[in-house]
């Protein structure tokens, strides 16, 4: 078993990014350009109206290649 190196970055009082710097081999069909990374998947915890949490995985490893698409993440106050 390998150790996981997690780190946190506080962007604002109510925004914290937790990231895992453990490298692992890619098991996707995605290819990154030489000058940047590409998103393979995103995991999000959604707060439902009943105050429950629903965790969803958003997977970008599809045959469509998601070309010319973008993502915006926002809250009630904007992007």
pLDDT at 65: 58
> Mind listing the pLDDT tens digit for each residue in 13-55?
888 888 888 888 988 888 889 999 888 888 889 999 999 999 9
Q: With contact defined as beta carbons under 8 Å apart, do 43 and 55 qualify?
A: yes
| 46 or 74, which is more confident | 46
3-state helix, strand, coil in the chain (%, to 5): 0, 35, 65
Q: Could you report how far apart the first and last alpha carbons of the chain are, in Å?
A: 38
In the chain, where are the structural domains located? 28-79
pLDDT at 1 over 50: no
pLDDT at 6 over 70: yes
Q: With contact defined as beta carbons under 8 Å apart, do 25 and 13 qualify?
A: no
pTM: 0.56
Per DSSP, the three-state class of 16 is strand
| Structure tokens belonging to residue 43 | 């995991």
């Amino acid at each position: 078993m390998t150790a996981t190196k997690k780190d946190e970055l506080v962007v604002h009082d109510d925004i914290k990014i937790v990231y895992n710097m453990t490298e692992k081999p890619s098991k996707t069909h995605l290819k990154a350009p030489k000058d940047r990374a590409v998103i393979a998947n995103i995991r999000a915890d959604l707060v439902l109206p009943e105050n429950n949490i629903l965790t969803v995985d958003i997977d970008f490893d599809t045959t469509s290649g998601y070309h010319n698409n973008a993502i915006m993440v926002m809250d009630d106050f904007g992007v």
